[in-house]
């Protein structure tokens, strides 16, 4: 019987980087981020190694989801990662089903700010939910919600009109985070967030559109984008 080929050092480094990145950012890295971390300049070479890892049951990839990379149990065993008992208990039922329901809480403007139809994110129709693989979010859904994108100001960030963004609820942001924010006048928008002196710049990812410059007093961060679900229909 032929001996199974072990992982290359490059593939081991890719697995280790994906794990450490997810621990720090709560989401998988992009192809380019993986390449930069393991010293691969070609995205096709990164994709080749990810495909080999997928074929050998270390990774699962979802082509319809931005950053759609998740670990299998085989990868977690290789990395020496043991899920804690609390998270196991919370996510046990969802993990068995393989899917989690994320509440869809409305639309968000990705051009001009969109008038908000909700005063908060505390209520939603139970029937309006997005199902995603539990492995994409490590079985954790307590602080996640979904919004449908209305507009094309984030197209260079691979977020198109009609896409669904999965958000992690938080009220703070760091420079470069893609966030949902409420602005004065009860409007919401999806933009990159930057501090600029005593003001905040909400930057679109579309070269034809200008940034929104506002005072911090009129900005309320509502959540950070964790992943994008492509709408292909």
pTM for this model (two decimals): 0.55
- As a whole number of angstroms, the distance between CA 126 and CA 68 comes to 26
In this model, does residue 48 exceed pLDDT 70?
yes
Per CATH, the homologous superfamily of domain 99-229 is Umud Fragment, subunit A (2.10.109.10)
Question: Is-same-fold flag (9-79; 99-229)?
Answer: no
- As a whole number of angstroms, the distance between CA 71 and CA 58 comes to 6
Sketch the domain layout of the chain as residue ranges.
9-79, 99-229
pLDDT level of residue 27 (50, 70, 90 thresholds):
confident
93-150 confidence digits (pLDDT tens): 434 446 778 888 888 887 655 444 343 444 444 556 787 777 676 656 678 888 989 8
Residues labelled as active-site residues: 153, 191
199-224 confidence digits (pLDDT tens): 999 999 999 999 999 999 889 998 99
Fold of 9-79: Arc Repressor Mutant, subunit A (1.10.10)
Max CA distance (Å), the chain? 70
């Amino acid at each position: 019987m032929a001996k199974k080929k072990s992982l290359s050092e490059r593939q081991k480094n890719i697995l280790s980087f994906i794990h450490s990145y997810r621990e720090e950012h709560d989401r998988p890295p992009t192809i380019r981020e993986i390449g930069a971390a393991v010293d691969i300049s070609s995205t096709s070479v990164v994709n080749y190694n990810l495909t080999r890892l997928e074929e050998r049951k270390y990774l699962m990839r979802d082509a319809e989801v931005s950053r759609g990379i998740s670990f299998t149990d085989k990868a977690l065993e290789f990395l020496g990662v043991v899920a804690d008992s609390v998270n196991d208990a919370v996510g046990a039922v969802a993990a068995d089903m393989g899917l989690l329901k994320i509440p869809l809480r409305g639309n968000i403007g990705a051009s001009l700010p969109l008038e908000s139809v909700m005063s908060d994110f505390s209520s939603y129709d139970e029937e309006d939910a997005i199902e995603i693989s539990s492995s994409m979010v490590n079985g954790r859904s307590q602080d996640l919600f979904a919004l449908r994108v209305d507009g094309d100001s984030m197209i260079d960030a691979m977020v198109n009109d009609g896409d669904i963004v999965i958000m992690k609820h938080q009220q703070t942001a760091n420079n470069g985070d893609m966030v949902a924010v409420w602005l004065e006048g009860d409007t919401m928008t999806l933009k990159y967030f930057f501090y600029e002196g005593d003001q905040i710049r909400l930057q679109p990812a579309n070269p034809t559109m200008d940034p929104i410059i506002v005072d911090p007093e009129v900005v309320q961060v509502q959540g950070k984008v964790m992943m994008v679900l492509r709408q292909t229909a």
